Amino acid sequence: MARTVAVASQKGGVGKTTTVASLGAALAELGQRVLLVDLDPQACLTFSLGIDPEDLSVSLHDVLGGERRVHEVLVRTPDGVDLVPATIDLAQSEATLLLRGNREHALDDALGDVRARYDWILLDCPPTLGILTVNALTAADEVMVPLQCETLAHRGVGQLVETVRDVTRATNPRLRISGILPTLYDGRTAHARAVLADIQERYDVPVLDPPIARSVRFAEAPAIGRSALSTASTLRGVEAYRIHARRMVEESSS
């Protein structure tokens, strides 16, 4: 059965989508069967992997609404991973889910059809702690928290950690935080080093090493519709994602 990882942060611009795309591609390089799920109505992951959301007739919105099953909306990407794409219609799904009973389990129930087909399912959460993120946390085995190494970026981490604890108590007792992943990291600055040290001291969760070094190449990759593993294979940050992918596989098999 697939191991399901939610990549979540309530702050935008910290590298959630980059992390999902890069880890997914790195796991695929290792021969793993990978499914990515775009839970953000902005559909940044979908666009980043070369798919125009406006060209889609079906998406995760239809799955959460019960009109389609996951395997009916899957898209194969050039990076060797499957994708459940998003469209702006997900904003409507968010409102609809709030009116449903058992609403926190909609995604978990839907993924039940395909979990046996994959080794990993990575969930790209929207930058909120709303019902779509709660669905992701309910469906996940673990949460990875990308965190930009700047002072303002980690103010909401405590709230996310508390939300994870609430979900663990209410809907998903198996959920755990696998770690905080420092992103957009520039080790040349004293500020970045100080924030990273503060993270390690402040939160009772692991800080994943190595950090992901800041590079404009991560921002350029979506314009080509590929992950940075395809467009900048030797980049230091890309190699860091490969290290994290190898760790995930080793931990999963141990």
Tell me the mean pLDDT in the region 214-219: 90
Above pLDDT 90, what percent of the chain?
A: 70
Nearest to 186 by CA among 233, 229, 237: 237
Could you give the CA distance from residue 120 to residue 77 in angstroms, rounded to a whole number?
A: 15
Nearest to 178 by CA among 213, 159, 202, 203: 203
Least confident span in 91-95, 100-104, 190-194, 250-254:
190-194
What's residue 122's pLDDT?
98
Contact 4, 139 (CB under 8 A): yes
More confident residue, 22 or 1: 22
What's residue 152's pLDDT?
65
Tell me the mean pLDDT in the region 125-134: 93
**What is the domain partition of the chain in residue ranges?**
3-249
Second-level CATH architecture of 3-249? 3-Layer(aba) Sandwich (3.40)
Mean pLDDT of the residues in the chain: 92
pTM of the model: 0.95
- Structure-token match 């997914």, residue found: 24
Nearest to 218 by CA among 168, 184, 172, 178: 184
